[in-house]
Amino acid sequence: MRGKLSKFTILLCVFLLIGFVGFATGQKETKAPTTVSIMYGTPWKDFVQPAVAKFEKETGIKVKQVVLPPGTNPDQKVALDLAGGVACDVIAVDGYRIPEFAEAGYLLNLDSYLNNWSDWNEYYEPMKKMVSFKGKHYGIPLDTDVRMLWYWKPIFEKAGITMPWQPKTWDDVLAAARKIKAALPNVQYPLYLPVGSKMGEATTMQGFYMLLLGADTPKNDRNRLRDWNAGKWIGKSPALLRTLQVYQTVFVKDKLSIRDIYYTPDVWGDWRRAMIHGNIGIGLGGSWEFKEFWSGAGVKVPSEQEREKLVGWAPMPGSGVPGAPKIVSISGGWTFAVNAKTKNADAAWKLLKTIFTKENFGRWVAGAAKVSTRKDVSEMASYKQDKYIAAITKLVAYTTTRDTYPGYSKVSSYVQSATEDILDGKTPQQAMDNFYNNLVSEFGKDKVTVIK
Amino acid sequence: MVVGLSKRSLYISLIPFALFILLLVFCVLWAIAISFTNKSLIGISAVHPRFIGILNYAKLLRHPDFINSLKVTFSFTFISAVVGQCIIGLLLAVLLRQKHIRFKAFFEVAVLLGWLLPDMVAAFMWGAFASATGFLNTILAPLGMKPINWITVKPLTTVIIANVWKGTAWSYLLFAAALDTIPGELFEAADVDGATAWQKLVLINIPIILPTILVNILLVTIWTFGYFSLIYGMTGGGPGHATEVLSILMYKEAFESFHIGYGSAISISMTIIVGSLSVIYFWGQRRAADVSG
């Protein structure tokens, strides 16, 4: 028995040794890469694929592409892949994640590559800032955007609202929504305002921030989630309360939106379908929607002239409170970054360089109705002549970015939870108190401030 | 000793099981250990998590969302699994066992269909079925009911009904198999004594298959307490927190907010709760066995 067991133990040890040696030698692989992998979402397919073909032809390196289908949350997918150590070599990253990903050591510092790349000088400074953390750069900015109020023209026409629509305060927006509700009771979403956690970051950015920024003066960060001078998160403020009051008006008091669309299995597809099927009067959304209302809904995109007849947009006004901005917008943007664990850093960088040539980026950015992140592309005739892009570029003067300090993701999830509290029937004050308690519990009382 | 197997072969054949159990134990221990830290999937806590003692558990007890999720989970589990699936499954099994029932195969297939459909497909199907323009409203319209979106107007009720529809087949199969083991003579004797259908159910069927009923209640409670995909697909836990069962709260904390430490604390709490329920069931089962023995 003992003899047999010993043999068995030896056999097991041999297996383990073979496995370990295999693992160890695998780690020391130094051969030239034969493949490099990249992960991005469907909207960037037209941008990436021609460059990938060119890269493969020039280098002989095969590119394994992971294209996330519509309906996937690319932001969450990238975070989980990086945390699990299975992310591709090159990854599309939402700009606001850069500090937390960099802090976790997930992203490769690209400074040594960027400093030797002449195109880097063409990028706007705020865009460079978006991809940086503690002075180091971790990605190439892909696109940026602005946010506004979209409205469906046939509904406005039937409701008798003058176009072009130019609301001056929140009251004007709510009044228009009430008018739609009274005139067209079949329209289920006179005002579409992203709410709840299933919409994820869209609730925070397209909905909550767009109200918060106009809810008070920008002085001393009174209209933000973070007091940057004090280095604290804002747990209670008049602006937070006013913002939650709008949620209460829209979803509870005046019922200017039913709740269905914010909780369906396909929240993004359904919002776009509701818009183009005339079930939304006014909707808070981003500049990309001029095309994606149709492409995201899975239907053929009409010509620009046809789209203009159907959908209009207006800058989001402030609340009308003294000192609050007259117009607000907030910008995000995606970047392409390199996984810090890549074994093919040089090849990954070469792929990035091929994707981000002026020609390839310029060709794509105007056609996709995106705001350019680099100066030379903004000067290209195809970009300058695009009427829609010229119009939305005016909003850039009013835009700002999120309070992307490490910990922002958690703050954002508490924002979403606060909007859900309103749906549950809590008062704006109770929802704000919960928000404050969540922040204190997360960061400690000394890291959370109250603005009177 | 397994017949015809040498000791060495036996040990070798046990390796996969041992590895599997080691993996399971490792995962559980990892989850327990992580639940005492501030480990996150992103940010500085991803690489340098700190030991924070029982803070995650203390936070749970103060967290209104956790208390809400606890209530929602108990309601969902008790009504949809313990009451809905078990009682309907038992009644179906008894009914379809009757000799004069026709189209038995049709009814069985209809019950099994819900069980066989993948959860996400079922979620999309229920999304369409219970929507304002869905078939449910078409059925209810002749009764004078105005069309509503059941998923947002009565969210918890709708997901409970969906889960009863989806899971009853399991209880039905288990009870049908148990009922088949009851000797026919007992019913013939009962017929001679003039017993009613109700008396046969209460005095013959239920006492004999009581251990099976208790095992089934135990199993469906465990499954339903941690059930995720159907509810998440249908409502995402909303509107508000109306259908946010513990598994959805745990998912949101661990994989949307990336608080893996806090998410682990929720999952460990779920394990403790469902483990406690299991102990009660086992105790009940032993009592039932003692009584029948």
**pLDDT value at residue A23:** 46
Domain assignment of residue B5, yes or no: no
Give residue-wise pLDDT tens across range B86-124: 999 999 998 888 877 778 888 888 888 888 999 999 998
Q: Are residues A226 and A345 in the same domain?
A: no
Q: Provide the token pair at A270.
A: 């359904």
Backbone dihedral angles phi then psi of residue A117, each to the nearest 5 degrees: -115, 110
Q: How many domains is chain B built from? A: 1
**Measured CA angle at A181 (ends A176, A183), to 5 deg:** 90
Closest CA to B151 of B251, B69, B71, B236: B236
**If you average pLDDT over residues A8-37, what whole number do you get?**
57
Q: Are residues A308 and A428 in the same domain?
A: yes
**pLDDT value at residue A24:** 46
User: Letter for the amino acid at A312?
Assistant: G
The CB-side HSE value for A282 (13 A sphere, CA atoms) comes to: 30
Question: Among A232-241, A248-257, B62-71, whose mean pLDDT is lowest?
Answer: B62-71
**If you average pLDDT over residues A131-156, what whole number do you get?**
93
Question: pLDDT class for B151, splitting at 50, 70, 90?
Answer: confident
Backbone dihedral angles phi then psi of residue A186, each to the nearest 5 degrees: -75, -15
DSSP state of A341: T
The CB-side HSE value for A410 (13 A sphere, CA atoms) comes to: 25
Q: For residue A413, give the nearest of B234, B242, B257 by CB distance.
A: B257
Q: Are residues A229 and A178 in the same domain?
A: yes
State how far the Cα of A284 lies from the Cα of A250, in Å rounded to an integer.
13
Closest CA to A249 of A203, A211, A199: A211
Question: Residues of chain A with pLDDT > 70: what percent?
Answer: 93
Q: Could B236 and A434 be called an inter-chain contact, meaning their C-beta atoms sit closer than 8 Å?
A: no
DSSP state of A396: G
Question: pLDDT class for A354, splitting at 50, 70, 90?
Answer: very high
**pLDDT value at residue B293:** 56
Closest CA to B80 of B185, B188, B227, B196: B227
Partners of A149 in beta bridges:
A284, A314
Q: Is A218 helix (H, G, I), strand (E, B) or coil?
A: coil
Contacting residues of B for A407, CB less than 8 Å apart: 43
Question: Among A10-14, A294-298, B1-5, B157-161, whose mean pLDDT is lowest?
Answer: A10-14
pLDDT of A227 over the 70 cut:
yes
Residue after which a domain boundary falls, among A393, A416, A441: A393
Classify burial at A262, counting beta carbons within 10 Å of its beta carbon; exposed 0-12, middle 13-18, buried 19 or more.
Answer: buried
**If you average pLDDT over residues A252-270, what whole number do you get?**
89
Q: Could A197 and B252 be called an inter-chain contact, meaning their C-beta atoms sit closer than 8 Å?
A: yes
Question: pLDDT class for A88, splitting at 50, 70, 90?
Answer: very high
What Rg value do the Cα atoms of chain B yield, rounded? 23
**Are residues A301 and A295 in contact, defined by beta-carbon separation less than 8 angstroms?**
yes
Give residue-wise pLDDT tens across range A365-420: 877 778 888 888 888 888 888 888 888 878 878 888 899 888 888 899 899 999 99
Quick one: CA dihedral A57, A61, A62, A65, positive or negative?
negative
Q: Are residues A275 and A411 in the same domain?
A: yes
Q: Could A76 and B240 be called an inter-chain contact, meaning their C-beta atoms sit closer than 8 Å?
A: no
Give residue-wise pLDDT tens across range B186-198: 888 888 888 888 8
User: Letter for the amino acid at A203?
Assistant: T
Q: How far is A314 from chain B (nearest CA, A)?
A: 29
Q: Complex ipTM, two decimals?
A: 0.76
Q: Provide the token pair at A338.
A: 């390199």
Residue in this structure with the two tokens 């910990």, named with its chain if needed: A407
Q: Are residues A277 and A206 in the same domain?
A: yes
**pLDDT value at residue B163:** 95
Q: Which of A260, A267, A419, A422 to mutate to test the interface with B (most CBs of B within 10 A)?
A: A260
Domain assignment of residue A29, yes or no: no
The CB-side HSE value for A98 (13 A sphere, CA atoms) comes to: 32
**Are residues A354 and A55 in contact, defined by beta-carbon separation less than 8 angstroms?**
yes
Q: Could A7 and B132 be called an inter-chain contact, meaning their C-beta atoms sit closer than 8 Å?
A: no
Q: Could B259 and A406 be called an inter-chain contact, meaning their C-beta atoms sit closer than 8 Å?
A: no
**Are residues A175 and A201 in contact, defined by beta-carbon separation less than 8 angstroms?**
no
**Are residues A372 and A145 in contact, defined by beta-carbon separation less than 8 angstroms?**
no
Q: Are residues A383 and A408 in the same domain?
A: no
Question: pLDDT class for A218, splitting at 50, 70, 90?
Answer: very high
Q: For B68, which residue in chain A has the nearest alpha carbon? A: A424
Q: Are residues A89 and A107 in the same domain?
A: yes
Question: Among A100-109, A253-262, A323-332, B279-288, whose mean pLDDT is lowest?
Answer: B279-288
Question: pLDDT class for A356, splitting at 50, 70, 90?
Answer: very high
The CB-side HSE value for B38 (13 A sphere, CA atoms) comes to: 16
Alpha helices, DSSP H, located in A296-344: 304-310
Q: How far is A8 from chain B (nearest CA, A)?
A: 8
Q: What DSSP string runs through chain B?
A: --TT--HHHHHHHHHHHHHHHHHHHHHHHHHHHHTTB---SSSHHHHS--B-TTHHHHHHHH-HHHHHHHHHHHHIIIIIIIIIIHHHHHHHHHHHHSTT--SHHHHHHHHHHHHHS-HHHHHHHHHHHTSTTSHHHHHHGGGTPPP--HHHHSHHHHHHHHHHHHHHHHHHHHHHHHHHTS-HHHHHHHHHTT--HHHHIIIIIHHHHHHHHHHHHHHHHHHHHT--HHHHHHHTT-STTTT--HHHHHHIIIIIS--HHHHHHHHHHHHHHHHHHHHHHHHHHHHHHHHH-
**pLDDT value at residue A3:** 46
Question: pLDDT class for A306, splitting at 50, 70, 90?
Answer: very high
Range of the domain at A424: 147-330+404-450
Q: Is A329 helix (H, G, I), strand (E, B) or coil?
A: strand
Please report, for the domain that includes residue A75, its CATH number.
Answer: 3.40.190.10
Q: Which of A10, A86, A263 to mutate to test the interface with B (most CBs of B within 10 A)?
A: A263
Residue in this structure with the two tokens 């992103």, named with its chain if needed: B42
Give residue-wise pLDDT tens across range A419-433: 999 998 999 999 999
**Are residues A235 and A445 in contact, defined by beta-carbon separation less than 8 angstroms?**
no
Domain assignment of residue B3, yes or no: no
**If you average pLDDT over residues B144-164, what whole number do you get?**
90
Residue in this structure with the two tokens 């135990």, named with its chain if needed: B218
Q: Could A1 and B7 be called an inter-chain contact, meaning their C-beta atoms sit closer than 8 Å?
A: yes
Q: Which of A197, A266, A426 to mutate to test the interface with B (most CBs of B within 10 A)?
A: A197
Residues 6+ apart with CB under 8 A from B1: B7, B10
State how far the Cα of A404 lies from the Cα of A419, in Å rounded to an integer.
20
Q: Are residues A172 and A271 in the same domain?
A: yes
Question: Among A120-124, A410-414, B7-11, B83-87, whose mean pLDDT is lowest?
Answer: B7-11
State how far the Cα of A300 lies from the Cα of A391, in Å rounded to an integer.
24
Contacting residues of A for B65, CB less than 8 Å apart: 417
The average confidence (pLDDT) of chain A is 89
Partners of A335 in beta bridges:
A93, A141
A74 at interface of B, judged by CB pairs closer than 8 A:
no
Q: How many domains is chain A built from? A: 2
Closest CA to B232 of B124, B130, B153, B137: B124
Contacting residues of A for B238, CB less than 8 Å apart: 196-198, 259, 262-263, 420, 423
DSSP state of A123: B
Q: Does the bond joining A74 to the residue before it have cis omega, within 30 degrees of 0?
A: no
A104 at interface of B, judged by CB pairs closer than 8 A:
yes
Question: Among A275-284, A358-367, B44-53, whose mean pLDDT is lowest?
Answer: A358-367
Residue in this structure with the two tokens 């023995």, named with its chain if needed: B293
- Count other Cβ atoms within 10 Å, centred on residue A393: 17
Q: Is A283 helix (H, G, I), strand (E, B) or coil?
A: strand
Range of the domain at B168: 57-292
pLDDT of A328 over the 90 cut:
yes
Q: Could B65 and A7 be called an inter-chain contact, meaning their C-beta atoms sit closer than 8 Å?
A: no
Q: Could A197 and B238 be called an inter-chain contact, meaning their C-beta atoms sit closer than 8 Å?
A: yes
Give residue-wise pLDDT tens across range A59-70: 999 999 999 987
Please report, for the domain that includes residue B112, its CATH number.
Answer: 1.10.3720.10
Domain assignment of residue B36, yes or no: no
**Are residues A103 and A406 in contact, defined by beta-carbon separation less than 8 angstroms?**
yes
**Are residues A100 and B42 in contact, defined by beta-carbon separation less than 8 angstroms?**
yes
Q: Could B237 and A79 be called an inter-chain contact, meaning their C-beta atoms sit closer than 8 Å?
A: no
A124 at interface of B, judged by CB pairs closer than 8 A:
no
Q: Are residues A294 and A200 in the same domain?
A: yes
pLDDT of A87 over the 90 cut:
yes
Q: Could A103 and B64 be called an inter-chain contact, meaning their C-beta atoms sit closer than 8 Å?
A: no
Q: Could B131 and A409 be called an inter-chain contact, meaning their C-beta atoms sit closer than 8 Å?
A: no
Q: Are residues A170 and A206 in the same domain?
A: yes
pLDDT of B7 over the 90 cut:
no
Domain assignment of residue B33, yes or no: no
Domain assignment of residue B128, yes or no: yes
B211 at interface of A, judged by CB pairs closer than 8 A:
no
Q: Could A406 and B44 be called an inter-chain contact, meaning their C-beta atoms sit closer than 8 Å?
A: yes
Domain assignment of residue B44, yes or no: no
Give residue-wise pLDDT tens across range B25-82: 999 999 999 999 999 999 888 989 999 999 999 989 888 889 999 999 999 999 999 8
Q: Are residues A200 and A103 in the same domain?
A: no
A5 at interface of B, judged by CB pairs closer than 8 A:
yes
State how far the Cα of B249 lies from the Cα of A440, in Å rounded to an integer.
20
B263 at interface of A, judged by CB pairs closer than 8 A:
no
Classify burial at A244, counting beta carbons within 10 Å of its beta carbon; exposed 0-12, middle 13-18, buried 19 or more.
Answer: buried
The CB-side HSE value for A236 (13 A sphere, CA atoms) comes to: 13
The CB-side HSE value for B130 (13 A sphere, CA atoms) comes to: 24
The CB-side HSE value for A441 (13 A sphere, CA atoms) comes to: 20
Domain assignment of residue B30, yes or no: no
pLDDT of A2 over the 50 cut:
no
**If you average pLDDT over residues B155-180, what whole number do you get?**
93
Domain assignment of residue B15, yes or no: no
**pLDDT value at residue A185:** 95
Q: For A420, which residue in chain B has the nearest alpha carbon? A: B240
Q: Are residues A326 and A230 in the same domain?
A: yes
Closest CA to A419 of A198, A216, A223: A198
